[in-house]
Structure 1
Amino acid sequence: MFSSIKDKVVIVTGGSKGIGKGIAQVFARQGAKIMIAARGKEDAQRTVADIEAEGGTAAWCTCDVADWTSVKEMVAVTEELFGPVDILCANAGIFPQKKLIDLEPDEWDQVMDTNLKSTFLCVKACIPSFEAAGKGRIIVTSSITGPVTGYPGWAHYGASKAGQLGFLKTAAMELARYNTTINAVMPGNIMTEGLAGLGEEYLGSMAASIPLKRLGAVEDIGNAALFFASDEASYITGQQIIVDGGQILPESLDAIAEI
């Protein structure tokens, strides 16, 4: 699809399952060398095995993306194994559902650290690689929840995802000196292990509220990230694209009924 991706070194945080795994597989199919950074060893190993079974190149490392030392080690391990980082997919995130009345301050902090602080740390850690190469690409996995929509129980998640978009606007200006772009993909409801755990009733109601009448696939997000990482997108930075099957468009379910 995009020849400029072949042999590029790509870090995918939270790449062991869900959207992260989909992103990793899409890049691997284009010939990139993938470092899966995750906290779960078994899931990471399975993802690497799946990529290798398709003829791709991948490795894994454990990383706490909210910890600066751990993030620096992730980059060092990647460079030792594959060479300088070309592309960072800052995808790691959590979305525990809890309403404000029950939400504890430390639970708020955990979501902010994992989703927002980690984006800053991972970008910062990769800057030396991008500067040395004279080029870099960063793709942030944000969400429609927070920047565009809201949902009860996800105030902390929504705030972290909106924060990522605020971060990338200034980051895009500062990273331009390194010929590095940073953009965000904003998924709607994508079928992942995490979403499946919310139950069939929730999944059915979400699909019914989407004009395309289905939930997205992880590859849909991977393909958007792939474009942002390509040479074809070299003049795009500080931007975001919504990938949601038209979910945010209807004013109400009545509008969906008219389709």
Structure 2
Amino acid sequence: MASSAPSELVLVRHGESVGNLAASAASARGAPRLDLAYRDPDTPLSDNGVSQARSLGHYLSALPEQERPQTVVSSPYVRATSTMDHALAACPGEVPTRRDERLRERDLGLFDGMTGRGITQEYPEEAKRRAAMGKFYYRPPGGESWTDVVLRVRHFLADTSRDHRDARVWVFSHQAVIMAFRYVLESLSEEELLAADADTPLGNCSLTTYRPGNAGVLALVAYGEVGHVESSGAEPTHEEPHTPHDPAGPDSRRG
């Protein structure tokens, strides 16, 4: 049966950002908020994040032409577009690129820039509501639930299958968005998704790859590969593992 999907879909998490560093520092101090002056869309890569992105460029430059991306789509957030730009700078030839707001990070609303401790201290009733609803369905005040992100991803995949059938498509995005792709493409349950998110932290600048399998449906080939980062001398990074039922959780982190 002919495929109605891209011939390859590679999901790239952005390189380490200064927001990731700020979140780790705040957690280590037990602080209620991140010490960060940037709004979420403008948060840049750290120096190590730039090195991670360049390591991906070296990986791309070594690929045979028939394995390189044919079209690239990025979240419009700076940490994602910068990762894309650094990576493609080393890729031979011209690759069409565009930005798509459906790939942006989950909007945390009132909780943006807060730690789990801060949320519990300042908004105890919301922490209780989140614990009751569960991480997947809970929507922070003024923000998005994971299911809201899933809806964005479903629309993006429908357009991509229509417009880029049989093409090699690379997507530069964020942790929660990539997990939403997994939920949709692998038909995961809520429990399976949260367990995967807790058990296997998604590394910065990691690659998650899908190719058509049975009946031309995209199937997972590799999840969270960071070999290109490890071999380059850049420091591999990811958030600390967490439990899927933590009542506060790391939802304020900019992934």
TM-score for the superposition, normalised by structure 2: 0.37
Q: Which has the higher contact order (CA 8 A, sep 6+)?
A: 2
The structure that is helix-richer by fraction is: 1
TM-score for the superposition, normalised by structure 1: 0.36
